[in-house]
Amino acid sequence: MIVLLIAHRAEFRCFFNKMTFRKESFGYLSGDTCLIQTGSKDKLIRHILPGIKKLSKEFKDIQFLNLGFAAVLNRALPIGTIVEAGLCYQPDTGEEIQLPKSGLALHRVGCMTIREAGEAVHPPQKKYSVNIVDMELFFLAEEARSLSLPLTSIKVVSDYYEDRVPAGRLIESAPPLCHKLYESYMSYKEKGNDLV
């Protein structure tokens, strides 16, 4: 069972337009895929984790796949590039969580999870040559670790962090970026989900 963890409505809608789902209390099911819109950390803990715990009792092989947008630091990659997070870290605490490989031939990057858009960021030195910024991956990785379930994260570069792009502009450019995430999901699924 692949549990897709998607934070934002734009990416979520893309999957709804391409697949047929049935509503469950914890998310949406389509064959061997469960789609969950994670939203805030509070929503994740209160409403979603109990459903995931229930799923983990029903299915013995569950793999989390986080798909979403991320800003790249220092204009290190072009917009639209698909990357895989090799680790995520939380700048407030300095804690890092290593993430398993997806098995796809993607550039591995570090991902810094921030609480507020636009805050100053200082990635750890010499971890990865390229770093991206998002607002959910570290919290998802913490919860996946607490459940002893693997979490892989594939992101599409949506903007340059230094540009402080308004959310409205990101939503306007979302459809082609969301399509790239969907293609990544299909490649992941076709790969047989063999985490390397």
Tell me: the pLDDT tens digits for 57-98?
777 788 899 999 999 998 999 999 999 999 999 888 889 999
d(Cα 152, Cα 4) in Å, to the nearest integer? 10
In this structure, the dihedral spanned by the alpha carbons of residues 123, 128, 130 and 133, taken in order and rounded to 10 degrees, is -40
Band of pLDDT at residue 44, cut at 50, 70 and 90: low
Lowest mean pLDDT among 9-23, 41-55, 133-147: 41-55
Residues in contact with 138: Cβ distance below 8 Å, sequence separation at least 6, in sequence order: 88, 89, 90, 95, 97, 111, 113
Q: Mean pLDDT throughout 113-124?
A: 76
User: How far is the C-alpha of 30 from the C-alpha of 185, rounded, in Å?
Assistant: 13
Q: Which helix (H) or strand (E) holds 157?
A: strand 151-160
| CA separation for the pair 163, 170 (Å, rounded) | 12
Give, in order, the Cα–Cα distances in Å from 62 to each of 121, 131, 148, 152. 33, 28, 10, 12
**Taking the domain 2-190, which CATH number applies?**
3.40.50.1580
Confidence of residue 46 (pLDDT cuts 50, 70, 90): low
123, pLDDT greater than 70? no
